[in-house]
Amino acid sequence: MITNGKFGKYGGIFVPELIIPALEELEEAFLRYKDDEKFVEELEFYLREFAGRPTSLYHAKNLSKKFGCKVYLKREDMLHTGAHKINNTLGQGLLAKYMGKTRLIAETGAGQHGIATAVVGAMLSIPTEVYMGSEDVERQKLNVFRMELSGSNVIPVETGSKTLKDAINEAFRDWISNVENTHYLIGSTMGPHPYPTMVKHFQSVIGKEAKEKILQKEEELPDAVIACVGGGSNAMGIFSGFVDDTAVDLIGVEGGGEGVETKRTGATLCKGTEGILHGSLSFVLQDNDGQISEAHSVSAGLDYPGVGPEHAYLKVTGRVNYVAVTNKEALRGFELLSKYEGIIPALESSHAVAYAEKYANIEGNKGKTIIINLSGRGDKDMFLVAKEMRVDV
Amino acid sequence: MKPFKNDSNNPNQIQSYQEMFQEVKNKGEGAFIPFTVAGDPDFETSIEIVRQYVDNGADALEIGFPFSDPVADGPSVQAADIRSLNSGMTTDKCFEFISRIREFTSIPIGILVYYNLIYKMGLDEFYNKAKNAGINGILAADLPPEEAGDAVNMASQYDLGQIFMVAQTTTNERISEIVKMCTGFLYVVAVMGITGARSDIKKSTVDLIKRVKSHSDLPIAVGFGISKPEHVKDVIQSGSDGAIVASAIINIITQNLDDLDNAKQEIGSFCKELKGSTKNKIDG
Ligand SMILES: Cc1ncc(COP(=O)(O)O)c(C=O)c1O
């Protein structure tokens, strides 16, 4: 590898030997093309014309009044396919094309990353296969249908817990067997180097736009930036714009599930310990032996027992404050934003909304300026939320 | 060099990889190295399965420590991992398992682990326990040379082998780097991919064996996808010093979960057959 891909001691390339040459090839291509004029131009074109960038930084007046803070929303929910995921799938999809790869594979939990990969595969005419735990296939039939409509083949994964982490295992196995023609399009800032760095790069457009706009509108930096953290890509994307501005509070909100103190939680940074999962050293939810635990969150996108290694670094260095919000609190965030602003957020993003309210209630925080990264919209969660609210739809 | 010992039935003298490979070579054979997951489907049955290996010609043993997320392994081994974990195996019980095997055999024992199991316990404690249990070598499936500095140091501190994999995708340059860090033997990955019983051995495997041999003086054992006596014969004839058989044996367990006595019997005769095909090696 040309660079070591470590964040402090976190990150690295803890993968079977078979994958190393593919990682080397990918790193080399990423470093070559990321600032290549033609590549950048083409990516910007697709981000603008296909995905709908730039997204607005919206002043949520009603919520601001309710919270007693000035609340801005970074509207990644307005992007094509409904979430920030497409920033990354466009970047990696295009890179795969430049590398001459003829097949894309991806993992997906709820299906957001799967759909974002599927539409990019269709648009770039690269055949795409998406691994999805069979439990998730069952729970997210509509998203499976959307991927299939976009021409992708969805492969149900029957191994292990039959959820996201097993879909990742299976995608890795596929890649090991097909490294020559296949690009594995990982959906978050996780996995072995160069993925955490590369996915952050493709998501950093969020932070860049947010910073530019807040400076235009407020003529100063915000007091806090709040984002939900699953694997960590939307958070790394927006944090990257502010990480050097140490006066800005950066807050990562994890899926607390039924409570960080319970077994049913997805709060990897708040509760987990150092460990190696899916190619990098980071924090993981695990038992005393290092066997990986199952995560739980009402939002499938935060339901992962690992987290990107740069978040581990930002945690131990104290630059980012990581907190957890329970399922119940997230649902309140969901309802608040829907009701006060007419914006129905993804359940993942609802965690950030819910924490923003808590933040506003901390003594001394009234009147502060907050940016919430609204990573996605809630269309995908309608049935689930209706069920939680005991409404028949 | 240690004096050559031909006392593989004396469990008090652990045979080194070097001695074992030399011994089989002297007999004009290749080494037969069966794999199983410690504790699959349960601790005691698993011990008896290993006893079948030893009684039916195994020259060394490769023992997997079960892990919840074995990305380098195929469905058969993953299912075995899950069975083992469900039967209550822990890392400490895996060491106990090795100690039990050491009561009846002195042939080299390598373990195949995922690095998180080592990292979580702490390298010092893990390698110390490995040494005390009577393990010869440690292969961490997800630990490439770039990340293996600490492990290699620890292995040399405890006089254990640190074993690495090379694959078709590994360049000659990398092979040379890996050889520098590797002790015991080199694990050559036969097919592009993960463990699993395949129906034929590709020409590319033969080429890989030759390529590795020309870059390394370490003994090599070929694994992944070796499922038939003919495969064993092919890789040994192609110049490999040993053959590792995993999924094909594990499949016998999987197919006989309701009749484990039958599984043991079938495994015994399968091993005999596999060992048989390592013999009459044509040199050169
Ligand atoms: C809308 C939305 N937000 C957040 C996430 C969590 O991923 P990450 O932490 O990589 O942003 C997901 C994942 O599916 C998502 O769909």
Predicted confidence pLDDT, tens digits, chain A (393 residues): 999 999 999 999 999 999 999 999 999 999 999 999 999 999 999 999 999 999 999 999 999 999 999 999 999 999 999 999 999 999 999 999 999 999 999 999 989 999 999 999 999 999 999 999 998 898 888 999 999 999 999 999 998 888 898 999 999 999 988 988 999 999 999 999 999 999 999 999 999 999 999 999 999 999 999 999 999 999 999 999 999 999 999 999 999 999 999 999 999 999 999 999 999 999 999 999 999 999 999 998 999 999 999 999 999 999 999 999 999 999 999 999 999 999 999 999 999 999 999 999 999 999 999 999 999 999 999 999 999 999 998
Chain A residue at shortest CA distance from B139: A16
d(CA A94, CA A43): 7
Handedness of CA B228, B232, B238, B244 (dihedral sign): positive
Q: Verify whether residue A363 is a known catalytic residue.
A: no
- Edge-first strand order for the sheet with A128-133 is A153-157, A128-133, A103-108, A182-184
What value, to the nearest 5°, has the Cα angle with vertex A338 and ends A332 and A342?
160
Q: Contact A150/A119 with Cβ under 8 angstroms?
A: yes
Q: Which residues of B touch A11 (CB under 8 A)?
A: none
d(CA B271, CA A191): 38
Name the minimum distance, in Å, from the CA of B264 to any CA of chain A: 26
- Total number of residues shown for chain A: 393
Q: How many CB atoms lie within 10 A of CB B280?
A: 12
Which among B258, B279, B280, B255 has a CA at the least distance from the CA of B267? B255
Contacts of A361 (CB under 8 A, 6+ apart): none
Pocket test for ligand 1, best of A77, A85, A201 (most atoms within 8 A of CB): A85
CA dihedral A264, A267, A269, A271 (to 10 degrees): -40
B2 phi, psi to nearest 5 deg: -70, 150
Q: Percent helix, strand and coil across chain B, each rounded to 5? A: 45, 15, 40
Contacts of A59 (CB under 8 A, 6+ apart): A70, A71, A72, A217
What value, to the nearest 5°, has the Cα angle with vertex A311 and ends A192 and A64?
135
Collapsing DSSP to helix, strand or coil, A185 comes out as coil
Across the interface, of B116, B167, B192, the residue whose CB is closest to A276 is B116
Q: Is residue B4 over pLDDT 50?
A: no
Residue type present at position A173: R
Nearest ligand 1 atom to alpha carbon A110: 14
Name the minimum distance, in Å, from the CA of A117 to any CA of chain B: 22
Q: Is residue B90 over pLDDT 50?
A: yes
Q: How many CB atoms lie within 10 A of CB A5?
A: 24
B1 confidence band (pLDDT: 50, 70, 90): very low
**Residue in the structure block whose two tokens are 């957001």:** A112
Does the beta-carbon distance from A173 to B194 stay under 8 Å? Answer: yes
d(CA A2, CA B279): 45
pLDDT in tens, B193-247: 555 665 556 778 888 999 999 999 999 999 988 999 999 999 999 999 999 999 9
Across the interface, of B70, B114, B194, the residue whose CB is closest to A177 is B194
Task: Convert A41-55 to b/e letters by CB count within 10 Å (16 or more is b).
Answer: ebbeebbeebbebbb
Pairing of strands B164-166, B186-189: parallel
ipTM exceeding 0.90, yes/no: yes
Which among A341, A381, A387, A384 has a CA at the least distance from the CA of A71? A341
d(CA B35, CA B197): 13
Q: Contact A7/A312 with Cβ under 8 angstroms?
A: yes
Does the beta-carbon distance from A159 to B69 stay under 8 Å? Answer: no
Give the mutation candidate from B65, B67, B69, B125 for the A interface (greatest A CB count, under 10 A). Answer: B69
Q: Chain-centre distance of CA A230, in angstroms?
A: 6
What value, to the nearest 5°, has the Cα angle with vertex A380 and ends A147 and B71?
55
Q: How many CB atoms lie within 10 A of CB A328?
A: 15
How high is the pLDDT of residue B198? 59
Residue type present at position A330: A
Helix (H) or strand (E) holding A211, with range, is: helix A195-218
Using a 6 Å CB cutoff, which residues line ligand 1?
A 83, 85, 109-110, 112-113, 188, 228-235, 301-302, 346, 348-349, 375-376
- Chain B residues within 8 Å of chain A (Cβ atoms): 67-72, 74-75, 78-79, 82, 85, 90-91, 114-117, 119-121, 141-144, 146-147, 164-171, 174, 178, 189, 192-194
CA dihedral A117, A121, A126, A129 (to 10 degrees): 50
Collapsing DSSP to helix, strand or coil, B133 comes out as helix
Q: Verify whether residue A158 is a known catalytic residue.
A: no
Q: Is residue B191 over pLDDT 80?
A: no
B280: CA distance to ligand 1 center in Å? 59
Which among A317, A357, A319 has a CA at the least distance from the CA of A337? A357
Across the interface, of B69, B82, B171, the residue whose CB is closest to A292 is B69
Residues B13-18 have a mean pLDDT of 96
Q: Which residues of B touch A173 (CB under 8 A)?
A: 71, 74, 193-194
Contacts of B170 (CB under 8 A, 6+ apart): A17, A20, A21, B178
Q: Contact B74/B196 with Cβ under 8 angstroms?
A: yes
Q: What are the structure tokens assigned to A122, written together?
A: 């269709």
Q: Contact B190/B235 with Cβ under 8 angstroms?
A: yes
Q: Is residue B282 over pLDDT 70?
A: no
Q: Which residues of A touch B142 (CB under 8 A)?
A: 14-16, 276, 279
Collapsing DSSP to helix, strand or coil, B190 comes out as coil
Nearest ligand 1 atom to alpha carbon A302: 6
CA dihedral A73, A79, A82, A87 (to 10 degrees): -100
Residues B17-26 have a mean pLDDT of 97
| Higher-pLDDT residue of B18, B1 | B18
d(CA A64, CA A368): 10
Residues B159-177 have a mean pLDDT of 95
Handedness of CA A142, A143, A148, A151 (dihedral sign): positive
How high is the pLDDT of residue B205? 86
Q: Is residue B2 over pLDDT 60?
A: no
A297: CA distance to ligand 1 center in Å? 12
A230: CA distance to ligand 1 center in Å? 6
How high is the pLDDT of residue B283? 53
Contacts of A167 (CB under 8 A, 6+ apart): A107, A108, A109, A131, A132, A133, A136, A157
B3 confidence band (pLDDT: 50, 70, 90): very low
- Total number of residues shown for chain B: 284
Does the beta-carbon distance from B116 to A20 stay under 8 Å? Answer: no
Inter-CA distances, B133 with A170, B111, B180, Å: 33, 11, 26
Does the beta-carbon distance from B68 to A288 stay under 8 Å? Answer: no
Give the mutation candidate from B67, B71, B175 for the A interface (greatest A CB count, under 10 A). Answer: B71
Name the minimum distance, in Å, from the CA of A290 to any CA of chain B: 5
Contacts of B218 (CB under 8 A, 6+ apart): B179, B182, B183, B184, B185, B186
Helix (H) or strand (E) holding B161, with range, is: strand B161-162
Which among A349, A358, A352 has a CA at the least distance from the CA of A380? A349
Give the mutation candidate from A291, A294, A304 for the B interface (greatest B CB count, under 10 A). Answer: A291
B284 confidence band (pLDDT: 50, 70, 90): very low
Q: Contact A132/A117 with Cβ under 8 angstroms?
A: no
pLDDT in tens, B137-164: 999 999 999 999 999 999 999 999 999 9
Helix (H) or strand (E) holding A142, with range, is: helix A141-149
B169 confidence band (pLDDT: 50, 70, 90): confident
How high is the pLDDT of residue B6? 42
Contacts of A57 (CB under 8 A, 6+ apart): A72, A73, A74, A75, A209, A210, A213, A214, A217, A371
Question: pTM for the full model?
Answer: 0.95
Q: Percent helix, strand and coil across chain A, each rounded to 5? A: 50, 20, 35
Chain B residue at shortest CA distance from A165: B69
**Residue in the structure block whose two tokens are 């817990």:** A161
pLDDT in tens, B199-212: 556 778 888 999 99
Pairing of strands B220-223, B242-245: parallel
d(CA A224, CA A356): 9
